[in-house]
């Protein structure tokens, strides 16, 4: 039971709104027993009699003093700098300039935001009683290099699964 890296869309949902949203981390378990994502026609009907669970953590967002408020402050500074440039004028809401999409600071902020969200979900996972996972599972570089291998020898020489 491991999680992939979190994509940047979650960071945008946190960084871009006018107010910091409430962020409730949660851990889902057993969904794959009910209906695995690889199931196709004619077996797309969920399995009955299987169990799944949902565990919730505490709110890590909102108005309180959290890491997300600091990340949002930094994002708003980047947006303000970007709006001063001529290229930003005329963009529709939700559309980012190249500087906010690919700029070094913007990319680093989104990566840090997704790392913090993932850490909050891992804390709920720990409360569930599951062991810590390999830290490299949360890195996009791991999935890019290894393709999400689940068992066998990884490119870095480590072994996963039956050894």
Question: What is the C-alpha radius of gyration for the chain, rounded to an integer number of angstroms?
Answer: 19
- Residue-wise pLDDT for 27-49, tens only, equals 998 887 887 666 677 677 778 88
Q: What are phi and psi of 57, to 5 degrees?
A: -100, -175
Q: Is residue 135 predicted with pLDDT exceeding 60?
A: yes
| Residue 58 confidence (pLDDT) | 93
Q: Give 12's pLDDT tier (boundaries 50, 70, 90).
A: very high
- Give the separation between CA 35 and CA 28, rounded to whole angstroms: 13
Higher pLDDT, 124 or 92: 124
- What is the residue-averaged pLDDT of the chain? 81
Does residue 161 have a cis bond before it (omega within 30 degrees)?
A: no
- Residue-wise pLDDT for 66-115, tens only, equals 899 999 999 999 998 888 875 556 666 678 888 888 999 999 999 999 99
Tokens read off for 111: 């990566």
Q: Is 54 helix (H, G, I), strand (E, B) or coil?
A: strand
| Residue 163 confidence (pLDDT) | 39
């Amino acid at each position: 039971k491991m999680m992939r890296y979190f994509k940047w869309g979650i960071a945008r949902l946190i960084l871009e709104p006018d107010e910091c949203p409430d962020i409730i981390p949660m851990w889902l378990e057993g969904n794959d027993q009910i209906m695995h994502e690889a199931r196709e026609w004619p077996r797309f009907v969920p399995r009955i009699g299987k169990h799944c669970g949902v565990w919730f953590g505490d709110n890590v967002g909102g108005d309180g003093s959290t890491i997300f408020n600091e990340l949002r402050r930094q994002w708003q500074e980047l947006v303000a700098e970007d709006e001063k440039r001529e290229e930003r004028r005329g963009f529709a809401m939700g559309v980012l300039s190249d500087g906010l999409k690919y700029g070094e600071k913007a990319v680093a902020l989104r990566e840090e935001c997704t790392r913090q969200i993932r850490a909050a979900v891992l804390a709920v996972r720990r409360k569930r009683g599951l062991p810590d996972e390999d830290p490299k599972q949360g890195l996009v570089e791991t999935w890019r290099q290894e393709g999400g291998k689940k068992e066998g020898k990884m490119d870095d020489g480590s072994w996963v699964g039956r050894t």
